[in-house]
């Protein structure tokens, strides 16, 4: 469910927090769904449990999750609420994806205009086509 990139300049805890936010924005995680246990996720991602704890604490400060002592960490009810807030979160998510794509393109010797042209070339024309063409 979560993917880390060790070439990404963001700290690992921030990548984890962003991945949780992404799963909320796209509807994989819904309000009151539980997040994986800290130790379980640490083992899965092969990172220190303190890193996961730091990410979860950051998400709690941001209001995306809440903690029930002894029960775990859960998606907050307001994490994916109003359409305006959803648009804002999707915009943030799109920017994060774009930043990663540009960094990756630069690492491969490409400039932004080449990346944009390639995206236009491979992207289906409409939203319905995008949803079906890129489902994994």
In a domain, 24, yes or no: yes
Q: Are residues 105 and 76 in the same domain?
A: no
In a domain, 117, yes or no: yes
Q: Are residues 87 and 63 in the same domain?
A: no
Query: CA angle, 23 as apex, 91 and 19 as ends, to 5°?
Result: 80
pTM above 0.85, yes or no: no
Q: Are residues 88 and 114 in the same domain?
A: yes
* Cα R_g (the chain), whole angstroms: 17
Domain of residue 112, residue span: 83-133
Among 47-56, 87-96, 105-114, the minimum mean pLDDT is found in: 87-96
Rounded Cα gap, residues 117 and 69, in angstroms: 50
DSSP SS3 for 75:
strand
- What are the structure tokens assigned to 2, written together? 């979560």
What's the confidence (pLDDT) of residue 136?
A: 46
In a domain, 43, yes or no: yes
What's the confidence (pLDDT) of residue 3?
A: 84
Is the model's pLDDT at 135 over the cut of 60? no
Is the model's pLDDT at 22 over the cut of 90? no
For the chain, the domain total comes to: 2
In a domain, 28, yes or no: yes
Question: Taking residues 89-113, what's their average pLDDT?
Answer: 84
Question: Taking residues 84-102, what's their average pLDDT?
Answer: 77
E strands, the chain, are 65-68, 72-75
């Amino acid at each position: 469910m979560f993917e880390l990139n060790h070439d990404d300049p963001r700290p690992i805890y921030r990548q984890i927090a962003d991945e949780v936010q992404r799963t909320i924005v796209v509807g994989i995680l819904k309000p009151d769904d539980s997040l994986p246990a800290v130790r379980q996720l640490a083992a899965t991602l092969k990172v220190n449990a303190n890193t996961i704890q730091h990410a979860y604490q950051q998400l709690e400060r941001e209001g995306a999750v809440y903690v029930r002592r002894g029960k775990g960490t859960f998606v907050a009810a307001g994490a994916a609420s109003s359409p305006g807030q959803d648009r804002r979160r999707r915009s943030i998510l799109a920017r994060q994806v774009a930043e990663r794509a540009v960094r990756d393109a630069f690492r491969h010797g490409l400039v932004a205009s080449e990346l944009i042209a390639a995206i236009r070339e491979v992207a289906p024309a409409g939203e319905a086509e995008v949803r079906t063409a890129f489902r994994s």
